[in-house]
């Protein structure tokens, strides 16, 4: 309630999605070693997923 006596009631519906997105990395293969300054990562993830590398959206 504000100072003028006005009230407002809001209702919200919240859905919890506790299923993590799938991330499948095809390359480089697990356990491989690279001796280059850059590396190409190839893979797939769920369509609605956000992918971040070092905090940056890619």
Q: Give the β-pairing of 42-45 and 52-53.
A: unpaired
Distance CA 53, CA 58 (A): 7
Question: Nearest 5°: phi and psi at 45?
Answer: -150, 175
pLDDT at res. 10: 92
Instruction: Judge whether 16 lies within some domain.
Output: no
pLDDT at res. 3: 87
pLDDT at res. 46: 92
Instruction: Judge whether 10 lies within some domain.
Output: no
Name beta bridge partners: 42. 27
Q: Which domain holds residue 48?
A: 23-57
pLDDT at res. 1: 78
**Tens digit of pLDDT for each residue in 2-44?**
889 899 999 999 999 899 999 999 999 999 998 999 999 999 9
Number of domains in the chain: 1
């Amino acid at each position: 309630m504000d100072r003028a006596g006005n009230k407002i009631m809001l209702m919200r519906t919240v859905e919890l999605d506790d299923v993590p997105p799938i991330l499948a990395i095809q390359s480089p293969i697990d356990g491989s070693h690279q001796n280059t300054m850059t590396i190409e990562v190839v893979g797939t993830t769920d369509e609605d997923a956000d992918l971040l590398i070092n905090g940056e959206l890619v």
